[in-house]
Structures are given as structure tokens and as C-alpha cells.
Amino acid sequence: MRFNPFPKERQLSAYLPLALPVTDDADIIMLDDGSLFAMRELQPAPWETKSALELLYQYSALNTAYCNLAHPSVVFHIYICRERADRSVYPIGRFTSPVAEDIDTAYREALLATTLWWNTIYLGIQICPPSQIGEIIIEKKPKNTASELHEERFERMEGLLTLLNYQLAAYKPRKLGLRDGVFAEIAETLAFAMTGVRRPIGLTTGRIGQAAFFQLAATRHEKVPLSN
């Protein structure tokens, strides 16, 4: 085999191994290696005004949740995404003094234009398939038995998500699924975490990861002036 000193760079879609949705609302997606993957958006819990005892209880509850959810085949992915804050996060007040209103308006415009950022936390939950030997054993089993094993893994994911929603209730987990019945929120979130740009990604009949960074380039005839 010839050695290529300049190998071709992998496409961005290779780093987004989303294959096909498993559920109708695309809240559980199968990855290229057969893993099941789901995501939750978490709201940050403020700590500045809490006492030391409240903070200790909060950290203890979070640690207990991770212990209850832990399993050799379960992997948690944490994505902290930063973007410019939306204008709606700054409250608009009512003032009796025009001077106070002008100061507030100027401060709001300056804050939103430069320094105000918004951090969003996303939690990815992945249930990995059995090892390579385990997959070979499953393939040699009768079809109904192999189907039951895959169904069992799907039920484990649903049970894990139910327990996670309960254990992390303080962070108000929101399920990522279909947006407007067309767009895959999981693919949109992962693409945003990779590139820092939000883009609509719709469900397709092929790999979701391939569609995430697919762009159609259209060329047209242009007139180029020629000079002697």
C-alpha cells in the first residue's frame, strides 16, 4: 500500500456520527456504531444567593444522581455552549423619571452590544452497544432473540431518561427532539457546539450527520468584461 503523506481531510460530517432516528419525534437517535443517543437541555442553577448548606445539598444530590445513573455501557457528554445573549434576557422596566429611563436604555444597549453572553448546558446520554464479541453472539442468536435484545436496550434508554428527568429536576431538563415537526434539535445542537453557528437541520432519509453540514453550491453564468 502506498503511503500518502498528504491524506485527505475528513469531512465535518465524519465527526457527527448521527445515523437514524429511533423514535417518531427524533428524541433518541442511533449512532453509526449502533449506540443510542439522546440529549437534554439543562437550566443553570444559581448559587450566588445560596447558603453553604444549600450548596452542599445541591452537590450531594447531583452526585447521587450520577451514581444512580451510572452503568458500564452509559456515557454522559456535557456541552457548555456560549453565544451572544438574546435581547429578551434583559428586563424592560417602567420608570417615573425620564433620566433613569435614558440611563437604563443606554446601559442595556451597551451591554447587549458587547459583553452580555449566554451559556447553555446540554447533556448527552449514550448507551453503547455490546462489545464486538457480544455483537457476533447476538447475530448468531435467533432473530426474535436478537430483536428482543435491541428492544431491551431501547427500553433501558427510556427508563434512564425518565430517571434522569426526576434526578435532575432542579435543572429543568428539556427534551431535544423535533422542532416544528421538521428539524432535528439534537443535530442542530451538536452542529452548534462544533461550529458556534446555529443552523436549521431537517430530518432526511439518509444519515442525519451527513445532512448537518450539507450545502448545495449553485453556479450561474457570469459576464466577465475583457479589455484589450
pLDDT tens for each residue of 33-46: 888 999 999 987 77
Looking at the 3D structure of the chain, how many domains does it have? 1
pLDDT in the model for residue 138: 43
Q: Considering the domain boundaries, does residue 72 fall inside one?
A: yes
Lowest-pLDDT range, 13-17, 139-143, 148-152? 139-143
Domain span at residue 178 reads 17-83+120-212
pLDDT in the model for residue 221: 61
> E strands within the chain?
18-21, 29-31, 36-42, 74-84, 117-127, 174-175, 178-179, 183-184
Q: Are 123 and 42 in contact (CB under 8 A)?
A: yes
Lowest-pLDDT range, 34-38, 77-81, 165-169? 165-169
Highest mean pLDDT among 64-68, 107-111, 174-178, 217-221: 174-178
Q: Considering the domain boundaries, does residue 217 fall inside one?
A: no
Q: Considering the domain boundaries, does residue 106 fall inside one?
A: no
Q: Considering the domain boundaries, does residue 74 fall inside one?
A: yes
Q: Are 88 and 125 in contact (CB under 8 A)?
A: no
Residue 110 pLDDT level (bands cut at 50, 70, 90): confident
Give residue 145's identity as a one-letter amino acid code: T
pLDDT in the model for residue 137: 43
Mean pLDDT on 152-181: 87
pLDDT in the model for residue 196: 82
Q: Considering the domain boundaries, does residue 104 fall inside one?
A: no
Residue 105 pLDDT level (bands cut at 50, 70, 90): confident
> Which phi and psi (to 5°) does residue 198 adopt?
-85, 135
Residues in the chain: 228
pLDDT in the model for residue 35: 87
25, with CB counted inside 10 A (0-12, 13-18, 19+), is middle
Q: Considering the domain boundaries, does residue 2 fall inside one?
A: no
Q: Considering the domain boundaries, does residue 7 fall inside one?
A: no
pLDDT in the model for residue 145: 43
Q: Considering the domain boundaries, does residue 93 fall inside one?
A: no
Could you tell me the pTM of the whole model?
Answer: 0.74
pLDDT in the model for residue 39: 93
Beta bridge partners of 121: 42, 80
